[in-house]
Structure 1
Amino acid sequence: MPPYVAGKPASADAFKLSSNENPYPPLPGVLEAAVTAAASMNRYPDMGNAALYAALAEAYDVPATDLAVATGSTGLIYGLLSAFCEPGDEVLYAWRSFEAYPIAVLAAGATSVQVPLLADGRHDLDAMAAAVGERTKVVLLCSPNNPTGPALTQAEVDGFLDRVPDDVLVVLDEAYIEFVRIDGPVDGVATYRGHSNVTILRTFSKAYGLAGFRVGYCIAPQPVAAALRAVTLPFGVNLVAQAAAVASLAARAELLERVDALVGERTRVLAGVRAAGWEVPDAQGNFVWFGFPDQPERIAAFVAAAEGLGIMVRPLGTDGVRVTIGEDEANDRLIRLAETFER
């Protein structure tokens, strides 16, 4: 089983663009809520996550019975595959996609079926639908796709679901959903409402800036959510994390302002990178993908050049390098890297 590789930390004089973190400080009121909750650290957290479930249920107009929370969306992925897969079952997903997918599949004793992405970094939904077989138990759709960036449309997902049997669980991994700016984007909540086999995963780690607290949430039909809650680690979402997540939901207006600012920076970075001659996929998360398929030497050289400019980036196998949209100065350095690195 390959280990999960975290983004390389930054030194004091460098920017960390390797983990898709939000560069902004906590939202108004969130730090205060966390500090207040920390005063009760000698007590266990609410294992039922009642306050967080109530806030999520109100925010999305869904029953609390259709919710589950865990340590980030990664924890939810592990839980879902543990709940629904047995040895011999298959889990289907695009590749390259989120690095935790193949590890979680192995941990569940299931078998990965990886369908190559299209040349533009998008899911090949026709090939994925054709790959669904009798042993397929779960399909993972990552939108926007981490690390390449493109997002799925509602029409694409609807067409895919029409071709998938109802007894196959389709998981929409929407960790970066707040950053999407395309025509006709998939509406995960509406899709879950219309299908008994659709589950959506979201997180407070990215747009909400709670990466250090690890809070992910699932919205799913009640039997799926119940199964996920049954296998989730008790007390997995700690006391302080629950308080910070509830406070973050209350500060959603401020959150969206920050997301808009990051999207603006993303647009500026994409324009600069493409003006320098790079062909990069559509970026709908808070990151940009530089593909170097089967060119490990070029990947290593790009990473070294980035470090020379004071930015830490994320190489992923022999496929390419993902770079987070960060502080303005960090983004300036990324554009400079694109302009100076010999393609």
Structure 2
Amino acid sequence: MTPEQLLAAPSTALPTLRGAVAGLPSYVPGRRSARADIAALASNESHYEPLPAATVAVAEAARRMNRYPDMAAVELRERLARHLGVSLEEVAVGPGSVGVLQQIITGLCDAGDEVVFAWRSFEAYPILVELAGARPVRIPLDHLEGHDLDAMAAAVTDCTKVILLCTPNNPTGVPISHERIEAFLQSVRSDILVVIDEAYVEYADAGSGPDSLALYRQYPNVCILRTFSKAYGLAGLRVGYAVAVPAIAEGLRRTALPFSVSALAQKAAIASLDAGEEMAARASAVREERARMAAELEAQGWKLQPSQGNFLWIRADEVLLATLVEAFNGAGIMVRAYQGDGVRITVADAASNDRVLRLLAAHAA
């Protein structure tokens, strides 16, 4: 072939993914089933239907879904600002807290930067970090299934840009006290963003975790991350938010995918905030069921750490985990298994919870 013919010849090469993407582990969602006899306890969803006011708001907004949503989500941000006692400029929203977290990582991390977090914790953490080209730094949980803050502080380097604190921790349910986080904040550099991820804060007993707003007001490098997916029951609409100093919050809004929070989600979130007392009553009922289940499981001989989420965690080795997963599957109960670590069980209605208790009673030590 002449040089001209070689240049004209079609290439057989195909596009390739970035190395960081090709090597990413897939996020594993909780299993689901449409069967009415299956107890869906794998995804920490609220077992309640959406708040009535949210359903009405969605129906009204649906009549205008031929129009783009407000990309700045001003009405929702104003309502959140009033709810939290902050300014509009301190609030950023996104498609669920995981979407906002991606905005955080994208906005702060360059290739080679480090993000420190406990492990095991929220499964999306290492995925989002690696996707940004940054390096995830996993710090093992302590013997009480909580954050080892001393080890996390010791892991900070000149490359550390973000630290993620999940409280109560998913999947173990263990919170981080206000005093421990405050001491931690005093020990880390002020140019590191410390994200307090509170996806399950509405389920936590008063005083069990931090007063994150007070910490934010005292430490400008704190960012609060929350969601409407859990206690507010809007998991299917995808809306979460962050509170950060205006410069950081503005950066999060800039890194957001345009129009990522639908008009339906924005209206439903506002209506849900306005129905806060009803949501709080539902969360209280979940706390009561959580306490009832934990007490019975401990009486059966299971060793549990006190959970402050809408779920319970059972530490299990490979043998026990395989036994439990097989038993749950056979009983039509969907739970979340974490290979090599344990099983997470969402607290739901009393009837579903009783099915869990009967099954675990048969496998107690």
- TM-score of Structure 1 vs Structure 2, range by shorter chain: over 0.9
SS in 1 for 2:251: helix
Deviation at 1:308, TM superposition (A): 2.1
In structure 2, which of residues 26, 29, 32 is the aligned counterpart of residue 3 of structure 1?
26
In structure 1, which of residues 93, 110, 117 is the aligned counterpart of residue 141 of structure 2?
117
**Preserved contact between residue 20 and residue 287 of structure 1 (Cα < 8 Å):** yes
Cα RMSD over matched residues? 1.1
Structure 1 residues 183, 247: closer, same or farther in 2, change over 3 A?
closer
Aligned residues: 341
Q: 1:312 is matched with which residue? A: 334
- For the pair 1:205 / 2:218, whether they are aligned, the reply is no
In structure 2, which of residues 78, 90, 103 is the aligned counterpart of residue 66 of structure 1?
90
Q: 1:272 is matched with which residue? A: 296
| Alpha-carbon distance in 1 for matches of 2:95, 2:349 | 26
1:1-55 CA distance string (max 9 Å, x none): 0000000113331110000000111113110110010011111111110110111
- For the pair 1:167 / 2:191, whether they are aligned, the reply is yes
**What fraction of aligned residue pairs are identical, expressed as a percent?**
48
- For the pair 1:23 / 2:47, whether they are aligned, the reply is yes
**Preserved contact between residue 175 and residue 208 of structure 2 (Cα < 8 Å):** no
| Alpha-carbon distance in 2 for matches of 1:107, 1:317 | 23
1:151-189 CA distance string (max 9 Å, x none): 111100001001000011100000000111154530111
Q: 2:213 is matched with which residue? A: 189
Q: 1:155 is matched with which residue? A: 179
Structure 1 gap ranges (5+): none
| Alpha-carbon distance in 1 for matches of 2:41, 2:57 | 28
Deviation at 1:342, TM superposition (A): 5.0
TM-score, normalization by structure 1: 0.97
- For the pair 1:326 / 2:348, whether they are aligned, the reply is yes
- For the pair 1:335 / 2:357, whether they are aligned, the reply is yes
1:245-297 CA distance string (max 9 Å, x none): 0000000011100000000000001011111101011110000011114x1x4
Q: Which amino acid aligns with 2:277?
A: A
Runs of 4+ in structure 1 displaced over 3 angstroms?
A: none
SS in 2 for 1:2: coil
In structure 2, which of residues 179, 185, 202 is the aligned counterpart of residue 178 of structure 1?
202
Deviation at 1:196, TM superposition (A): 1.3
| Alpha-carbon distance in 1 for matches of 2:160, 2:313 | 30
Q: 2:169 is matched with which residue? A: 145
- For the pair 1:238 / 2:271, whether they are aligned, the reply is no
1:62-119 CA distance string (max 9 Å, x none): 1010000001010111111111111111100000000000101101100011110011
Q: 2:21 is matched with which residue? A: none
SS in 2 for 1:280: coil
Structure 2 gap ranges (5+): 1-23
- For the pair 1:128 / 2:152, whether they are aligned, the reply is yes
Q: 1:91 is matched with which residue? A: 115
**Preserved contact between residue 201 and residue 219 of structure 1 (Cα < 8 Å):** yes
TM-score, normalization by structure 2: 0.92
SS in 1 for 2:133: coil
1:130-156 CA distance string (max 9 Å, x none): 111111110000000000011111100
| Alpha-carbon distance in 2 for matches of 1:166, 1:85 | 16
Q: Which amino acid aligns with 1:302?
A: L
Matches within 5 A, 1:43-82: 43-82=67-106
Q: Name which one, 1 or 2, has greater alpha-carbon Rg.
A: 2
| Alpha-carbon distance in 2 for matches of 1:307, 1:258 | 28
Q: 2:15 is matched with which residue? A: none
